[in-house]
Amino acid sequence: SGYRVEDADMVVVGQGAIMDELVAVVDHLRREKILKAGLISVSVLRPFAGAALSHMLAGKRAVTVLERTDSPLSDSSPLFEEVRSAIDRASENGQSGDTPPYPDHATFRRLEDRPRMYAGVYGVGGDMPSFAELAAVFEHMAVKGGARRFYVGARFDTETRRFPHLEALQQLLVPGGPP
């Protein structure tokens, strides 16, 4: 389902509990920063509603797929691949002439019709992103040239751990690590 997608320039696609927080972020950005932000919540990964998604993304400048899954040995994560596939099919429709190979999908005739795609991973180490970090996802899309794959809310360089049991485990795993 979509939230404020109709006139949005930038859209986040995701699923799960983080979507409730993103609704508040979208409202804040539209009210305070005058960013045309939107949100698409995917409730079921399979079968994927690629045709409907391609129509919702038509005319958007950028899309970020936020996932709690990091796929280090893969090119990208599962939801990102499904979104990319939907956009690719819409692009193929635009290049095929009179008979689109995917008639249920949208048609992107020009390269500029494709939204720029970004992949964000959140929840690494159990930390959920803050409101400000989620707002930064949209602000990141507003500027061309940013990293296409990034982590949201992950703190790789902190010396202290949020949860004491994780800190104790860290000390066991890294001998001579922080006390």
CA 120, CA 10: separation in Å to the nearest integer?
A: 14
pLDDT, position 153: 83
**pLDDT tens-place string over residues 135-150:** 999 999 998 888 999 9
Q: What is the mean pLDDT of the chain?
A: 88
Tokens at residue 170, please?
């860290």
Q: What integer is the mean pLDDT of 58-70? A: 94
pLDDT at 172 over 70: no
Nearest to 152 by CA among 165, 139, 171: 139
Note the helical H segments in the chain.
Answer: 18-28, 50-57, 78-95, 131-142, 164-173
Whole-number pLDDT of residue 25: 97
Residue 125 gets which letter from DSSP?
G
- pLDDT value for 26: 98
| Range 33-61 average pLDDT | 95
Which residues, in sequence order, are bridge partners of residue 121? 67, 151
% of the chain beyond a pLDDT of 90? 69
Model pLDDT, residue 73: 74
Sequence-ordered strand ranges (E) for the chain:
2-3, 10-14, 37-41, 62-67, 116-122, 149-152
How does residue 163 score in pLDDT terms, banded at 50, 70 and 90?
A: low
Q: What's the pTM?
A: 0.85
- Lowest average pLDDT, out of 40-54, 63-77, 96-110, goes to 63-77
103-138 exposure pattern, b = at least 16 Cβ within 10 A, e = fewer: eebbbbeeeebbbebbbbbbbeeebebeeebbbbbb
Structure tokens at 100: 């689109």
Per-residue pLDDT of 109-126, as tens digits, reads 999 999 999 999 998 877
At residue 157, the pLDDT reads: 58
pLDDT at residue 154 in the model: 74
Question: What tens digit of pLDDT does each residue of 76-104 get?
Answer: 899 999 999 999 999 999 999 889 999 99
Higher pLDDT, 161 or 45: 45
